[in-house]
């Protein structure tokens, strides 16, 4: 799941960076802000052997680009919120993934990315928490985080926890 989140984040950031190369409105009055809703509709996210985990849900993203006095982009702030479900494709058993919140700052000068939030808050209705992934991660270029705080799981362990909860 962490891989899925990282891939979604990379896509969102890539969308934002592509937007930076296109002509944009004058920034003299402040940062450039884009906000958009998104929907995940019956998206397979993990193979559990005898069933697939299917994600459904939606949320809202906000991307703010900050500029220096010469109108060069220097920082991007991404804020995302998501509410959804994870469902066993065979039995229909489901988990709630909400609220999931990400606050990500990309320093275009230093080349760092800082992720802060409750990235996954997965619960069984009426029973409580199944999977919680939250904290702070700092990346300096490609590769693993250079700083890690909070509760995080390796990708294989994350998928195993969710598969077990949906059996």
Q: Is residue 28 part of a domain?
A: no
Number of domains in the chain: 1
Averages of pLDDT over each 10 residues, the chain, 167 residues = 41 42 53 97 97 98 96 97 97 95 97 96 85 95 93 90 94
Torsion angle in degrees (nearest 10) through CA of 21, 105, 44, 89: -150
Q: What pLDDT score was predicted for residue 32?
A: 97
Query: Does some domain include residue 45?
Result: yes
Q: What is the pLDDT of residue 28?
A: 56
Residue pair 76/65 in contact by the 8 Å Cβ criterion: yes
For residue 7, the model assigns a pLDDT of 38
Is 117 within 8 Å of 133 (Cβ atoms)? no
In-domain check, residue 88 = yes
pLDDT for position 27? 55
Residue 122 lies in a domain: yes
C-beta atoms surrounding 139 within 10 Å: 18
Residue 77 forms part of a structural domain: yes
Q: How far apart are CA 142 and CA 109, in angstroms?
A: 15
pLDDT at position 108? 97
Determine if the pTM surpasses 0.95. no
Q: Is there a domain that residue 27 lies in?
A: no
> Tokens at residue 36, please?
């958009």
102 domain residue, yes or no = yes
Provide the residue range defining the domain that includes 159: 2-22+33-166
Query: Is 76 contained in some domain?
Result: yes
Give me the pLDDT at residue 127, please. 80
Is residue 71 reached through a cis peptide bond, with omega within 30 degrees of 0 on the bond before it? no
pLDDT of residue 5: 43
Helix (H) or strand (E) holding 162: helix 155-166
Residue 1 confidence (pLDDT): 43
Question: From edge to edge, which strands make up the β-sheet containing 112-124?
Answer: 32-47, 52-67, 73-88, 94-107, 112-124, 128-140, 147-151
């Amino acid at each position: 799941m962490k891989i899925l989140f990282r891939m979604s984040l990379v896509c969102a950031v890539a969308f934002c960076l592509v937007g930076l190369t296109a002509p944009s409105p004058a920034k003299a009055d402040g940062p450039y802000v884009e906000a958009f809703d998104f929907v995940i509709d019956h998206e397979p996210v993990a193979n559990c052997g005898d069933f697939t985990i299917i994600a459904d849900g939606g949320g809202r993203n906000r991307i703010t680009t900050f500029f220096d006095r010469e109108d060069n982009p220097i920082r991007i702030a991404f804020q995302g919120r998501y509410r959804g479900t994870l469902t066993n494709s065979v039995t229909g058993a489901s988990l709630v993934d909400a609220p999931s919140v990400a606050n990500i700052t990309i320093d275009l000068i230093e080349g760092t990315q800082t992720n802060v939030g409750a990235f996954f808050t997965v619960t069984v209705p009426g029973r409580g928490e199944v999977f919680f992934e939250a904290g702070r991660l700092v990346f300096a270029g490609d590769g693993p985080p250079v700083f890690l705080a909070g509760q995080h799981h390796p990708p294989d362990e994350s998928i195993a926890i969710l598969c077990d909860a949906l059996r």
